[in-house]
């Protein structure tokens, strides 16, 4: 993919180790509240394609994410998500899969075009590589599940994965929101509490695990999220591809 831009922002693939290092520094700031001098790095960085979204005028890195391509469900155990979720149901998936991970936006930047450019870059990658399933861990900031009860209740009511793909519990510390929550969600509050990336997944027909993993290392709660490309509503596909 060549560089892709909208307004003041441009998305591109990392060209060298220095670009990857910049992503790791941003992730440290976004996930762990760092001051820009530390990094968030793991063994998956070496096998992923890294995307940077930059402010064209200043060159500032405002967002990043990484992609891991799998040739089908038989490779699902190679994914980052498989550390936290039992994904045997997805082993039967026979199309190309891509895991989107470590998506973040710099806390000092608040512009809806950043997410739009990120999704446009993702759409271009999906189209170019004939991807049939997009998946990953969608994170809520912090580990206090009570803060997000309305959001979790809405996920329970509307967005649980089909039984054939439903992830099972693997992590030692989880919040079984689908089984335990009884409240009727305030939908306005649920939308406000929903992470922007997850909100976009759901708008396109995405689904989630029935439990959230409590991840103290990253200071997040996350749910496994899947999106079957063929299930994306045609109107939503047109909007995404209009940005490519």
Partners of 137 in the β-ladder: 224
pLDDT at 2: 62
Average pLDDT over residues 12-20: 97
pLDDT at 239 over 80: no
Secondary structure percentages of the chain, helix, strand, coil, to 5? 40, 25, 35
- Encode pLDDT of 55-94 as tens digits: 999 999 999 999 999 999 999 999 999 999 999 999 999 9
How high is the mean pLDDT of the chain? 93
Asked whether the beta carbons of 124 and 192 are under 8 A apart, the reply is no
Three-state DSSP state, 79: coil
93 — phi, psi (to 5°)? -70, 125
pLDDT at 3 over 80: no
Rg (CA), the chain: 17
- Kindly give, in sequence order, each residue whose CB lies less than 8 Å from that of residue 75, ignoring residues fewer than 6 positions away: 97
pLDDT at 6: 76
CA atoms within a 13 Å half-sphere pointing along the CA-CB vector of 5: 10
What's the pTM value of the predicted model, to 2 decimals?
Answer: 0.93
Domains of the chain listed by start with CATH number: 4-242 (3.40.630.30)
- Encode pLDDT of 142-172 as tens digits: 999 999 999 999 999 999 999 999 999 999 9
pLDDT at 46: 97
Asked whether the beta carbons of 86 and 213 are under 8 A apart, the reply is no
């Amino acid at each position: 993919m060549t560089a892709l831009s909208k307004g003041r922002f441009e998305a591109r693939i990392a060209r060298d180790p220095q670009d990857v290092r910049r992503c790791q520094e941003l992730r440290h700031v976004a996930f762990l509240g760092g001051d820009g001098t530390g990094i968030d790095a793991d063994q998956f960085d070496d096998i992923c394609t890294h995307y940077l979204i930059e402010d064209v005028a200043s060159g500032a890195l405002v967002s990043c994410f990484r992609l891991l391509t799998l040739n089908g469900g038989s490779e699902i155990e190679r994914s980052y998500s498989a550390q936290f979720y039992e994904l045997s149901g997805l082993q039967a998936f026979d199309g190309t899969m891509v895991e989107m991970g470590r998506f973040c936006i710099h806390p000092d930047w608040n512009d809806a075009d950043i997410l739009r450019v990120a999704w446009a870059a993702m759409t271009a990658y999906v189209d170019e590589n004939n991807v049939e399933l997009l998946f990953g861990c969608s994170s809520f900031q912090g580990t206090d599940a009570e803060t997000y009860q309305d959001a979790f209740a809405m996920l329970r009511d509307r967005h649980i994965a089909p039984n054939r793909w439903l992830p099972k519990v693997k992590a030692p510390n989880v919040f079984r929101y689908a089984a335990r929550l009884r409240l009727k969600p305030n939908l306005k509050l649920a939308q406000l509490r929903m992470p922007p990336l997850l909100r976009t997944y759901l708008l396109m027909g995405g689904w989630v695990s029935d439990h959230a993993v409590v991840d103290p290392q990253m200071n997040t709660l996350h749910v496994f999220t899947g999106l079957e490309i063929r299930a994306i509503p045609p109107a939503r596909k047109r909007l995404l591809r209009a940005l490519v």
